[in-house]
Amino acid sequence: MTADLDSKLIAVLQQNGRATYQELAAATGVPRAKVSTHVQALLASGTLTVVAVAHPELLGLKALAHVSISVSGSASPVIAELCRSESTVYVSAISGRHNIVTELRVPDQQDLYEAIGLIRAMPGVTSVRTHVFAEVVKGIFVPKNVLRSDVRLDQTDVDLIELLEHNGRVSFLELSERTGLSRSAVRNRVNHLIAETAIQIGAVVKRRGGSTTIAMGIGVSLGFRRKEATKQIEDLPGIEFLARTLGTFDLIGTVAADSAIALYSLAEHIRSIEGVTGLETWIHLEVVKEHYGRSLELTGHHDIFRSNPKIAVSVDQH
C-alpha cells in the first residue's frame, strides 16, 4: 500500500506541485493526515523535490532535443562532462543500445548543432542519435503551449520565481515575508504566473538508491492513425513525458512503474496499439542530473519585463 500510495502522490504532484494536502487526499482517496505524513517523508528523504521551472522561451531556450549516446569504455567521464554543460537539463545512464541519454535546451538550432558537435567530440563517444522535439504532448517541465507574447514580469515576479525554483511548495506566508507583499497578493501573482505558463511547478523524482519506481524510456515508430495512437499512449498510466520528435522515432517518452513486470506489460500494450509499427525501450539505471532551473539574470530579453529594464533572463546553467 505504501509504494502504491507514494506512486499516486508523485503522479499528482508531478502535474501540480502545489496541490494541497486536501487535494491530494481527494485525488488518492486517502485521509489527509496520512497523505501529509507520506508527502513529508518523501520530501525529507530526498526521494521527491518540488520545484518551479520557468518556461523555456522565457529563458530564451527555443531548441529542445533528446540525445542518445554510445561510448567506448567507462561512461562516467562522458556523464560528468555532460553534467557540467550549460546545455543539458537531464542526464541519465541507461541500458539498451546506447549508454546515456541527455536532454538539451538551447536558444536556437545553430546552438543545438554546436552542442551536439561538442558531444560527438567528447573522448569515448562513439555514436550520437538526436531527436528534436517538434511538439511536447505531455511533460512536467516542457509546456505544450508557446509563451504568450503579452507576458510581462517585474522584479517581484523574478524574486518569486527564484524562491519557487528552490522550493515549489514554499508557503504563501513565507513568500509574503520574503517579498514584502501580502499573502493574497503573493497568491495572486503565483497563480497568475502558473496560469500564463510563465512557470510550471512539479515534482522531480530521485530515481536512485531507495526509489520505489523504475523509469523506462520509449521510442515509438508510427504508421497510420498517428493522432489516435499518440493519444492512447499519452493516456496510459505511468506516462510522465511524451513528445513528437524529428528523427528515428515519431515519439519519445518516459514511463514509470513499480516493477519490471509492470513496465513489460506497458511495453506490450504500446506494441498492440493500432498504428504503432515499432517500439524501442531502455531502462534509466541512474538519473545523474535533472535540474531545469536557471537564474533570471543577465541576458537581453528586456521586452518581457515591466519595470526594470536591467532584469533579463539568463541561459547560464544553475
Say how far apart CA 297 and CA 33 lie, in whole Å: 40
Predicted pLDDT of residue 213: 78
- 31: cell is 485521509
- 252: cell is 519519445
3-state secondary structure of 219: strand
Nearest to 250 by CA among 218, 221, 278: 221
Predicted pLDDT of residue 143: 67
Report the half-sphere exposure of 143 (CA within 13 A, side-chain side). Answer: 22
Predicted pLDDT of residue 307: 37
DSSP bridge partners of 200:
53
Q: Give the chain's domains with CATH numbers.
A: 2-45 (1.10.10), 63-142+206-290 (3.30.70.3460)
Left if phi > 0, otherwise alpha if psi is -120 to 50, otherwise beta: which for 96?
left
Q: Which residue positions in the chain have pLDDT lower than 50? A: 298-318
Summarised one tens digit per residue, pLDDT across range 96-122 is: 999 999 999 999 999 999 999 999 999
Predicted pLDDT of residue 212: 65
Name the phi and psi angles at 104, rounded to 5: -105, 140
